[in-house]
Structure 1
Amino acid sequence: MGTLSLPPQATQVGLAVDVAAFAMHAGELRVLLVQRGELPHARDWALPGGFVQVGEALHEAALRELRTETTVELEPRHLEQFYTFGELNRDPRGRIVSVAHLAVLPHGTVHVTGGGHTLGAAWFPAHRPPGLAFDHAAILDRAIKRLQVRLEYANLALEFLPDTFTLPELQGVHEAILNRPLDKRNFRKRLLAQGVLVPSGERRCGVGRPAQLYRRAKGAKAAAL
């Protein structure tokens, strides 16, 4: 059997991954960005990402780029492919197709530094990012829309919180992702009727009445792909 090869009319395409990694900081949805150290778009802010290596699975490439460019060592609570970007002129280096990934980093992931060829890494308000390199503004916009849709049919908001949390904290995650306030009574009624939460048996003391803590119900699935 002869060696298989691409036909002469086949287009040579570079394959890359980009990662929109989110976390909650001080009640605000933040996205993790890196400052590029190389051309094109040197010194511009961008989503972590890079080229897929030979023999490397796409999710492995996404994790490698996230860890290499931002020094994040914690495993994401959630990681999924959500869209493929392949516009003809999206990258000045040639025809490059990027498989975009959405990641939710563990609660408390705050300190990050740049790694690899980046000049730095930092958290930015997801709904008010700086100017971004390439088509990363479009990638981020679609990632946020994906988050918003996932709130309607999955338990993705729980991935942003610690193991136990208050209902106001959970509502805060929903409001931060949707970028709008929600009615407290309707939110709690709808959420508790879903059966995905149970009281943890603990309360958090603070100003005023101690707040009931909740956790994911046993058997309730995490956000599915």
Structure 2
Amino acid sequence: MIIFKGEKSLAVLRKNEPVGLALVGGFVGVGETCLQAAQREIREETGMELESYSFNLLPKIYDDPERDPRRHTVSVVYWIEIDDVVPPPKAGDDAKELVWVERNQKFVFDHEHLLERAWVERNKYREKIYEKYNPEINTG
């Protein structure tokens, strides 16, 4: 999951191999939907309780067999925008530390590609909202 706050995104400093910065995430449990797993993983790794309506799905499935050196994984990625109303995240589960990072940060796995795609989708979303609520402004 990609959690934005202003012009930064939340990263996990992993305490397990491979060690390094990663996006908040994990695996879907038996009987869970992808969205339920996303909410659970965010709660376990950051302590944040986020409502399902906050989640925006990236329009791509990440399934390259080489993306995780441990095993073949498939990722469904959500991006979420939070503000100061949400209590600050606190590291939990397999997160050694949580850090707010700027764009173009290096990550383990292929997470910088996921994050870059989320920045693009977030900007598209913001442009649509801006046009919807400011129709007198010509953006093109």
Sort the TM-score into its range (normalised by shorter chain). 0.7 to 0.9
- Assess if the C-alpha contact under 8 Å between 2:22 and 2:108 holds in 1: yes
**Percent same amino acid at aligned positions?**
29
Aligned residue among 95, 98, 102 for 1:118: 95
- Assess if the C-alpha contact under 8 Å between 1:113 and 1:122 holds in 2: no
Question: Cα deviations across residues 130-168 of structure 1 (Å, max 9, x unaligned)?
Answer: x2010000000000000111122236xxxxxxxxxxxxx
TM-score when scaled to structure 1?
0.55
Q: 1:124 to 1:135 in 2, by over 3 A?
A: same
What residue is the counterpart of 1:35 in the other structure? Answer: 13
Q: 1:76 to 1:21 in 2, by over 3 A?
A: farther
The answer on 1:58 being equivalent to 2:58 is no
Give the secondary structure class of the aligned counterpart of 1:137. Answer: helix
Please state how far the C-alpha of 1:106 moved relative to its aligned partner.
Answer: 3.5
Letter in 2 for 1:23: K
* RMSD, matched Cα: 2.2
Tell me which stretches of 4 or more aligned residues in structure 1 moved more than 6 Å.
none
Aligned residue among 92, 95, 104 for 2:72: 95
Please state how far the C-alpha of 1:23 moved relative to its aligned partner.
Answer: 1.2
What residue is the counterpart of 2:112 in the other structure? Answer: 137
The alignment covers a number of residue pairs equal to 135
Please state how far the C-alpha of 1:75 moved relative to its aligned partner.
Answer: 3.7
- Assess if the C-alpha contact under 8 Å between 1:76 and 1:105 holds in 2: no
Letter in 2 for 1:148: N
TM-score when scaled to structure 2?
0.85
What residue is the counterpart of 2:134 in the other structure? Answer: 191
What residue is the counterpart of 1:70 in the other structure? Answer: 46
Extract unaligned runs of 5+ from structure 2.
none
Larger Rg: 1
The answer on 1:151 being equivalent to 2:91 is no
Letter in 1 for 2:8: R
Q: 1:21 to 1:80 in 2, by over 3 A?
A: same
Give the secondary structure class of the aligned counterpart of 1:154. Answer: helix
- Assess if the C-alpha contact under 8 Å between 2:39 and 2:49 holds in 1: no
Give the secondary structure class of the aligned counterpart of 2:26. Answer: strand
| Alignment partners' CA distance in 1, 2:33 and 2:26 | 13
Letter in 1 for 2:9: V
What residue is the counterpart of 2:57 in the other structure? Answer: 81
- Assess if the C-alpha contact under 8 Å between 1:20 and 1:140 holds in 2: yes
What residue is the counterpart of 1:107 in the other structure? Answer: 84
Please state how far the C-alpha of 1:122 moved relative to its aligned partner.
Answer: 1.8
- Assess if the C-alpha contact under 8 Å between 2:104 and 2:116 holds in 1: no
- Assess if the C-alpha contact under 8 Å between 1:34 and 1:119 holds in 2: yes
Q: 1:110 to 1:128 in 2, by over 3 A?
A: farther
Question: Cα deviations across residues 68-125 of structure 1 (Å, max 9, x unaligned)?
Answer: 1112235476212212111120011221101111111233446322100110112122
| Alignment partners' CA distance in 2, 1:77 and 1:22 | 15
